[in-house]
Amino acid sequence: MDAMSAATISSPRGVLVGRRIGWTAAAVVALLLAVLLSLAVGARQIAPAEVFDALLYGGTSDAAEVVRSLRVPRTIVGLMVGAALAIAGTLMQGITRNPIGDPGVLGISQGAAAGVVTAIAVAGVHTLTGYVWFAFVGAGIASVAVYAVAASGRGGATPVKLALAGAAINALLIAFIQGMLTTDAATLDEFRFWQVGSIAGRGADVAGQIWPFLVVGVVMALSVARGLDALALGEDAAKGLGHRVGTVRIVGGLAATVLTGVGVSAAGPIAFVGLAVPHIARALVGTNHRWVLPMAALLGPVMLLVADVLGRITFPPGEVPAGVVTALLGVPFLILLVRRKAVSS
């Protein structure tokens, strides 16, 4: 009887674990297919056999050169940026307990954009590799400013105060950016190509600059996974379970800042990856962040790489930037999310 009872109790958990493993495996397959599409599809279609020949045997054909010199770096940056934005969005939604939270909710994306504007207009930086550092600094300053404003006064940095402080800093940064752009036409011309959000033209040098920050951000994110699960139950419950809510928020916020800096500095402000992917990940593997974060890290690149491929083939020989495609894909998702929330309430 005891054995039967134990089997009955453990069975639902076993089913859940099996489901999570199955969806994770499916996400890995989807990621591999997205990478293959990114390497094979574009203004010039390259057969999968030629792609594998270029990767494994270093082919000498023109197609092999296109794959190695152009599409491999672009795909690697897409993998990094997609994972970074998806994990950052998951952290933002967990920290603020806000279902529409994303890397822009605390002004981090606008902070990075302000850093790039400053790099162009003030420091005279005109390369993508130069933008990276200014974007990181801008994202960090914005994040610190938001937390400082939210933490002041009674109650500390509550989710509502974080959202309000983020909205205020966001508006301030937008005003700063617009002011810089409207007074300097040359800065506007250069900034608008970065602002639209794209992984086109990103080389191995960009990937080489951002990967250490990606690793640091991912490690920090995974370290607060249990804390985010507890925080979802409410602050009092999280404290009762022995978690330091303030530490979880600070470490999670720093991780989100670093990861957003990775994504925005390398590709510009890519919309909706950080908003949509966490919801999809939770629908597949549940709310446990030890599963949600890895799933988001797999699905984020899938979404970004597929959007990039769609942008390449929509209006050939030109390209639609990936940021435009993700926005077009994200709007129906956001409408569906609003309708579901309205029905459930």
What is the pLDDT confidence band of residue 343, given thresholds at 50, 70 and 90?
Answer: very low
Surface-to-core class of residue 235, CB atoms within 10 Å of its CB (0-12 exposed, 13-18 middle, 19+ buried): middle
CA angle 238, 15, 90 (to 5 degrees): 40
Spell out the domain ranges in the chain. Answer: 10-344
What one-letter code names the amino acid at 193?
A: F
Look up the pTM and report it.
0.88
- 88 near 109, Cβ under 8 Å? no
Q: pLDDT tens digit string along 256-300?
A: 988 988 888 888 888 889 888 999 999 999 999 999 999 999 999
Low-confidence winner among 16-20, 181-185, 235-239, 326-330 (lowest mean pLDDT): 235-239
Residue 8 has pLDDT above 50, yes or no: no
- 34 near 307, Cβ under 8 Å? no
CA 9 vs. chain centroid, Å, equals: 37
More confident residue, 332 or 6: 332
**Distance (Å, whole) CA 27 – CA 33:** 10
Residue 237 has pLDDT above 70, yes or no: yes
What one-letter code names the amino acid at 294?
A: P
What one-letter code names the amino acid at 223?
A: S
Residue whose C-alpha is closest to residue 159's, from 108, 217, 98: 98
Residue whose C-alpha is closest to residue 208's, from 35, 34, 76, 69: 76
10-344 is a CATH 1.10.3470.10 domain: yes
Q: What's residue 10's pLDDT?
A: 53
Task: Please tell me what DSSP assigns to residue 70.
Answer: I
Neighbours of 172 (CB within 10 A): 15
What is the pLDDT confidence band of residue 80, given thresholds at 50, 70 and 90?
Answer: very high
Q: In the Cβ-directed half-sphere of 59, how many Cα atoms lie within 13 Å? A: 17
Averaged pLDDT of the chain:
84
Structure tokens at 50: 């030629």
Q: What's residue 317's pLDDT?
A: 77
CA distances, 294 to each of 46, 57, 244, 254 (Å)? 31, 31, 23, 18
- 176 near 112, Cβ under 8 Å? no
